[in-house]
Amino acid sequence: DPDPAVSRIAFGSCANQSAPQPVWEAVVGFDPQVFIWLGDNVYGDNKRPFRVFGRERTVGPWRNVPRFYPSTEAELRRRYEMAKAKPGYAKLRERAQVIGTWDDHDYGLNDAGKEFGGKVTSQRLLLDFLDEAEDSSRRQQAGVYASYMFGPEGKRVKVILLDTRYHRDPLSSDGAVLGDPQWQWLERELHGPRSEITIIGSSIQVISNLSATTGPLFYVESWARFPRERERLFRLIDSKISRYDCGAQYPLYDITSSGLTQSVENSVPSVFQSLMRLVALLTPTTLRVFSPNCRYKSCTYGQPNFGAIEIDWNAVPPQIKLELRDVEGNSVGGVEFPISELDPSKAHAITKQGHSYQRHCALETELPWLELPAYQLLIFSPRNPRWNSHKKDMKELVACHVVRLQISNPIVMSIIVFCESGEPKVWNTLSCRNRHGRQKQPLLADLSCLSAFGAHGFSAQTASANCLIRLIRPRQSTSSSRCRGHPSLSIRRREQTGDGTTHAQGRMAAKIPVIDLRLAGEAPGEAARLRDAARRLGCFRVSGHGVPRELQAGMRAAVRALFDLPGDAKRRNADVIHGSGYMAPSAANPLYEAFGLYDAASPADVDAFCSCLDAPPHAREAIRSYAEKAHELVVDVAAKLATSLGLDCSFGDWPCQFRINRYNYTPDTVGKTGVQVHTDSGFLTVLQEDDRVGGLEVADPDTGEFAPVDPLPGTFLVNLGDVATAWSNGELHNVRHRVRCVAGVQRVSIALFLLAPKDDVVRAPEAFVSAERPRRFRDFGYDDYRRLRQSTGEHAGEALARLAA
């Protein structure tokens, strides 16, 4: 089976290469198809021992950064080799696909962020350890973030691994965790093709607030130390979130496994281990693995463990099980639920005194850590006078809702609201007042955002800083314009490949033939399909084109880097021929900007383009080789098209123009125009679309109606332009097309236009002219034609009529 469903994923972290690692036997016993390293895959840094009471001590909750120092490259490599040579791990590598990200110790230095000087070397060594391909784009980017899609359609599991080190600002800065390029990448990933299950791996905990509270005492890292970035993450996962963990329209599960060798209890000297257990007991849900019966007792698993995710696709509905397992492979806690529960429309019902209630929402609010005990008392003794100020509100609320207040960890209080039926009553604030009646921070900032959706959130975690996995299911609701495009994308894609006929947003996707270029030269059938598509539609896809996927991806990455340049740098990309340079967003196309390169067939011009923009070396390299390959491709397509029409032509010396487009979409621009209706002015265009978001539409030649064309990764789209129509004496169709925003995600596309004969006029060869088919167009120069389109504003092929013979 080329694309089997993934039903077993294991994950783990914190593996000391110098320690015995018996846990691998259990991992192999679980027989995962995928294993995810979530960081501290080796301990690459070193501690300076220090003495307390005559003994050397190296652990402690205090700020210990200065006590660590990095290893040399050779030493870090040696440690990775040790890790890789562990027999159990070697066995796992033979059976499972191993992927991973890093945390601080394998990044190279305890608690380090973007300031760490060894990060480029560390990146190379981690990717070597993970057997990342030499030409992988992951080796070109700054940081080790990556994403994977497993399984066939309908059973897709997407795994997104974040890099929380490479771009991270200092811990107390409330600055960056991911950095802009990674954010943009993540946005594209989360808005890209739909998956049934999305798993995000982060080396530091996302939901737990424990470390934020304990910050003054314990130097523990987590997303909670970066509230603004965390808010951004939750907003990205669900734009309706008003407080970070309340409004997701589906449950969010998270589970931490830490670690394979360096577990919570093992990280303290043995005399403190029972103390750890006691602390866990006293803080019921902090150090816990979630399970329905562990709310009031500690479910911490402080011994070495790994995480296990099992998906039963055959169950109806499919079930998911999240577990921690110990070194024997025994489950030590977990949770199981149907994936249908990860769905905004599934409210959870409860029954109380004969009434049934739907779960409406659950909010969590952060409390100042010293005030928490007071609030805890308040919750546990509802007669407490502090409730008085809320009595009226509470009565009203309770009249139509059931409210449950629950403390889910020392600083997070959850408020779960159930409503009887219909629209839940909306509460604006529920605030706490202090002893003097003065209002403290509002507990519920804004409930109105939560109306109409059943939702709840909770977290399942152990307390160590590492390794959180979060499951998300994309919303199916069409209530938010932002998401409207996504469910339909995959439906349309099925259609395009010919195995389904479903409507997407009421409109059929265009059926674009895919031509295998390896066959199109020889196999008459394929050549005929090429000719027919070019005559009727003016548009087709090509596969078998010989441009490596890595290069396609590398070029997209380079293009994104260029667009991130400041405005005045972009404007250095000046016109060579009329309108060939940088185009800023304009009144006609306000969401669109583009770079242009003329002549892409000339290596010197490609170099000049890169130099004027100061393109970074890897971007320059990608642009150079892409220009070369794409030029070969466009010439090849043109020649095969000519052959299919019975002509032997070569197009090698026709000038080419690159146009690199970016569409600055936001959630508010969904449905708006990216580029207005036009035909391309030249002969033919080879287009590499954004693989993550569609939006291109082509006009049906018969009805004139526009139909969406979705990206088909790995292929190129070919459009024929006005010159093709003129050159073929009207035989080839110049396809009208436009681009619309279908999702609030930035989109890029890369077009290479094969324009027209060099220094010559466009004139149909005699083969296309006969008594029945008299010459339709007079001879014209391409530059003049371009100006004509510009001066008349006729961009959709109308200007050709002005050239009638």
The contact set with ligand AKG (CB under 6 A) reads: 659, 661, 675, 680, 687, 689, 696, 737, 739, 749, 751
Q: Which is nearer to Fe ion, 254 or 722 (CB)?
A: 722
Distance in Å, CB of 94 to ligand AKG, minimum: 43
Q: Total residues at the site for Fe ion (CB under 5 A)?
A: 1
Do 668 and 745 touch, CB atoms closer than 8 A?
no
Instruction: For residues 346 and 785, give the distance between their C-alpha atoms in angstroms, rounded to a whole number.
Output: 58
Q: Which is nearer to Fe ion, 455 or 741 (CB)?
A: 741
- In the DSSP assignment, the letter for residue 383 is T
- Report the chain's C-alpha Rg in angstroms: 30
Residue 342, number of CB atoms within 10 A of its CB: 24
Distance in Å, CB of 788 to Fe ion, minimum: 17
The entry of ligand AKG, Fe ion, none near residue 261 (CB within 5 to 8 angstroms by kind) is none
Distance in Å, CB of 742 to ligand AKG, minimum: 12
Residue 595, beta-bridge partner list: 660
Q: Which is nearer to Fe ion, 411 or 720 (CB)?
A: 720
Distance in Å, CB of 673 to Fe ion, minimum: 13
Q: Which two tokens stand for residue 507?
A: 């409109």
The entry of Fe ion, ligand AKG, none near residue 21 (CB within 5 to 8 angstroms by kind) is none
State the maximum Cα–Cα separation within the chain, in Å, rounded to a whole number.
106
Q: Which is nearer to Fe ion, 366 or 680 (CB)?
A: 680
Do 775 and 708 touch, CB atoms closer than 8 A?
no
The entry of Fe ion, ligand AKG, none near residue 101 (CB within 5 to 8 angstroms by kind) is none
Distance in Å, CB of 687 to ligand AKG, minimum: 6
Helix (H) or strand (E) holding 180: helix 180-191
The entry of Fe ion, ligand AKG, none near residue 430 (CB within 5 to 8 angstroms by kind) is none
Q: Dihedral of CA 107/109/111/113: which sign?
A: negative
Q: Which is nearer to ligand AKG, 170 or 579 (CB)?
A: 579
Sites for Fe ion among residues 610-629 (CB under 5 A): none
- Three-point CA angle 796, 799, 805, nearest 5°: 140
Q: Compose the 626-665 pattern: x for residues touching Fe ion by CB under 5 A, - for all others.
A: ----------------------------------------
Instruction: For residues 733 and 114, give the distance between their C-alpha atoms in angstroms, rounded to a whole number.
Output: 53
Distance in Å, CB of 538 to ligand AKG, minimum: 12
Helix (H) or strand (E) holding 121: helix 119-129
Distance in Å, CB of 253 to ligand AKG, minimum: 37
Number of residue whose CB is nearest ligand AKG = 749
The entry of ligand AKG, Fe ion, none near residue 689 (CB within 5 to 8 angstroms by kind) is ligand AKG
Instruction: For residues 204 and 227, give the distance between their C-alpha atoms in angstroms, rounded to a whole number.
Output: 14
Q: Which two tokens stand for residue 393?
A: 């509100």
The entry of ligand AKG, Fe ion, none near residue 696 (CB within 5 to 8 angstroms by kind) is ligand AKG
Distance in Å, CB of 703 to Fe ion, minimum: 20
Q: Which is nearer to ligand AKG, 570 or 737 (CB)?
A: 737
Number of residue whose CB is nearest Fe ion = 680
Sites for Fe ion among residues 171-210 (CB under 5 A): none
Q: Which is nearer to ligand AKG, 519 or 788 (CB)?
A: 788
Does residue 619 sit in helix, strand or coil? helix
Look up residue 606 and give its amino acid. V
Burial (0-12, 13-18, 19+ Cβ within 10 Å), 390: middle
Distance in Å, CB of 627 to Fe ion, minimum: 19
Instruction: For residues 638 and 597, give the distance between their C-alpha atoms in angstroms, rounded to a whole number.
Output: 20
Distance in Å, CB of 678 to Fe ion, minimum: 6
Do 77 and 125 touch, CB atoms closer than 8 A?
yes
Which string of DSSP letters, residue by residue, matches 540-551? EEEES----HHH
Distance in Å, CB of 690 to ligand AKG, minimum: 8
Closest listed residue to residue 485, CA positions, set 495, 498, 475: 475
Do 411 and 366 touch, CB atoms closer than 8 A?
yes
Instruction: For residues 520 and 644, give the distance between their C-alpha atoms in angstroms, rounded to a whole number.
Output: 8
Distance in Å, CB of 305 to Fe ion, minimum: 54
The entry of ligand AKG, Fe ion, none near residue 308 (CB within 5 to 8 angstroms by kind) is none
The entry of ligand AKG, Fe ion, none near residue 679 (CB within 5 to 8 angstroms by kind) is none
Helix (H) or strand (E) holding 51: strand 50-52
Closest listed residue to residue 408, CA positions, set 297, 324, 295, 301: 295
Sites for Fe ion among residues 44-63 (CB under 5 A): none
Helix (H) or strand (E) holding 332: strand 331-338
Q: Which is nearer to ligand AKG, 178 or 739 (CB)?
A: 739
Distance in Å, CB of 410 to Fe ion, minimum: 58
Do 685 and 663 touch, CB atoms closer than 8 A?
no
Sites for Fe ion among residues 666-695 (CB under 5 A): 680
Task: List Cβ neighbours of 196 (8 Å cut-off, separation of 6 or more).
Answer: 154, 155, 156, 157, 318, 339, 473
Which string of DSSP letters, residue by residue, matches 658-707? EEEEEE---GGGTTSEEEEEE--SSSEEEEEPPSS---EEEE-TTT--EE
The entry of ligand AKG, Fe ion, none near residue 739 (CB within 5 to 8 angstroms by kind) is ligand AKG
Distance in Å, CB of 588 to Fe ion, minimum: 14
The alpha carbon torsion through 125, 126, 128, 132 (nearest 10 deg) reads -140
Look up residue 661 and give its amino acid. N
Task: List Cβ neighbours of 102 (8 Å cut-off, separation of 6 or more).
Answer: 37, 39, 40, 41, 122, 126, 144, 163, 165, 203
Q: Which is nearer to ligand AKG, 474 or 674 (CB)?
A: 674
The entry of Fe ion, ligand AKG, none near residue 749 (CB within 5 to 8 angstroms by kind) is ligand AKG
Distance in Å, CB of 739 to ligand AKG, minimum: 5
Q: Which is nearer to Fe ion, 45 or 680 (CB)?
A: 680
- The end-to-end CA distance of the chain, in Å, is 58
Distance in Å, CB of 790 to ligand AKG, minimum: 14
The entry of ligand AKG, Fe ion, none near residue 459 (CB within 5 to 8 angstroms by kind) is none
Burial (0-12, 13-18, 19+ Cβ within 10 Å), 805: exposed
Q: Which is nearer to Fe ion, 309 or 726 (CB)?
A: 726
Q: Which two tokens stand for residue 491?
A: 């439906």
Q: Which is nearer to ligand AKG, 323 or 689 (CB)?
A: 689
Q: Which is nearer to ligand AKG, 30 or 706 (CB)?
A: 706
Q: Which two tokens stand for residue 104?
A: 């601080």
Instruction: State the SS3 of 333-363.
Output: EEEEEEHHHCCCCCCCEEEECCEEEEEEEEE
Q: Which is nearer to ligand AKG, 531 or 736 (CB)?
A: 736
Q: Which is nearer to ligand AKG, 168 or 659 (CB)?
A: 659
Distance in Å, CB of 793 to ligand AKG, minimum: 16
Q: Which is nearer to Fe ion, 104 or 680 (CB)?
A: 680
Q: Which is nearer to ligand AKG, 302 or 674 (CB)?
A: 674
Do 430 and 415 touch, CB atoms closer than 8 A?
yes
Q: Which residues bind Fe ion (CB under 5 A)?
A: 680
